[in-house]
Chains A and B, each alone.
Chain A
Amino acid sequence: AQSVSQHNHHVILSEAASLELGCNYSYGGTVNLFWYVQYPGQHLQLLLKYFSGDPLVKGIKGFEAEFIKSKFSFNLRKPSVQWSDTAEYFCAVNVRGSARQLTFGSGTQLTVLP
């Protein structure tokens, strides 16, 4: 079965700092990759996704992620964070063709200090 590891449980940054959140998955086959975000008091929502093609994908609010197949990684980045980016971020993997599930990482709580 696939698994997802997020290395940072809690990240604290000042506004305008650059962000990189790590995500590694273990699965030998073809996968779809996702980052979800949960802002305080809000629904879990999709930030960006990778299915195929350009391994650098851009999502909402200036976020991007790069799929590096050889490293089984899908790290999330943002050049300059804002206070409003304070949220919990989840990496997720779905096995291509499976209706079954998304496998989620344990999440990273990002706190951006004003």
Chain B
Amino acid sequence: SQTIHQWPATLVQPVGSPLSLECTVEGTSNPNLYWYRQAAGRGLQLLFYSVGIGQISSEVPQNLSASRPQDRQFILSSKKLLLSDSGFYLCAWSVRHQPYEQYFGPGTRLTVT
């Protein structure tokens, strides 16, 4: 069966520090991968999605970037964190040619201080 991992589970970082959140998927090949940010009372906002290695689409211009160095690895990064980057970050995957259902990871709670 497929599983999706995210780490770390929680992270506290000072303003101006770099960020790297990692997401890996097991049990499937060539998935679509997604990064969302969840804010209280605002649902989930899509940040990035990827349909293949090195292929990244950005949905919201901001202080973050994403990379996909391997088929089942998706990384969310920032060079310098802002206070407004605090939030709950979710990674998700879907089947490449049936991208309707998305399956979510456990999330990372990021607090920028």
A61 within 8 A of B: no
User: When chains A and B are docked, how far (Å) is the Cα of A6 from the Cα of B41?
Assistant: 11
Q: A99-B49, A99-B51, A106-B41 are in contact. Are A49 and B34 (CB under 8 A)?
A: no
Q: Which residue of B lies closest to A41 (CB)?
A: B106
Interface residues of A in 57-114 (CB under 8 A from B): 90, 94, 96, 98-107
Determine if A43 and B101 form an interchain contact, defined as CB atoms under 8 angstroms apart.
no
Encoded as 1 (CB less than 8 Å from any A CB) or 0, chain B from 10 to 30 comes to 000000000000000000000
Interface residues on A, range: 20 to 34
Q: How many residues of B contact A (CB 8 A)?
A: 24
Determine if B100 and A43 form an interchain contact, defined as CB atoms under 8 angstroms apart.
no
Q: Collect the chain A residues with CB atoms within 8 Å of residue B104's CB.
A: 36, 43-45
A27 within 8 A of B: no
A8 within 8 A of B: no
User: When chains A and B are docked, how far (Å) is the Cα of A72 from the Cα of B100?
Assistant: 18
Q: Which residue of B lies closest to A4 (CB)?
A: B43
B99 within 8 A of A: yes
B46 within 8 A of A: yes
User: When chains A and B are docked, how far (Å) is the Cα of A59 from the Cα of B51?
Assistant: 28
A14 within 8 A of B: no
Residues of B within 8 A of A (CB): 32, 34, 41-46, 49, 51, 57, 59, 90, 94, 96, 99-107
Q: List 4 tightest A-B contacts by C-beta distance, closest first.
A: A104-B43, A44-B104, A99-B99, A104-B44
Residues of A within 8 A of B (CB): 4, 6, 9, 32, 34, 36, 43-46, 49, 51, 90, 94, 96, 98-107
A-B contact pairs, 25 of them (CB 8 A): A9-B41, A32-B100, A36-B104, A43-B105, A43-B106, A44-B104, A44-B107, A46-B103, A99-B32, A99-B49, A99-B51, A99-B96, A100-B46, A100-B57, A101-B34, A101-B59, A102-B44, A102-B46, A103-B46, A104-B45, A105-B43, A106-B41, A106-B42, A106-B43, A107-B41
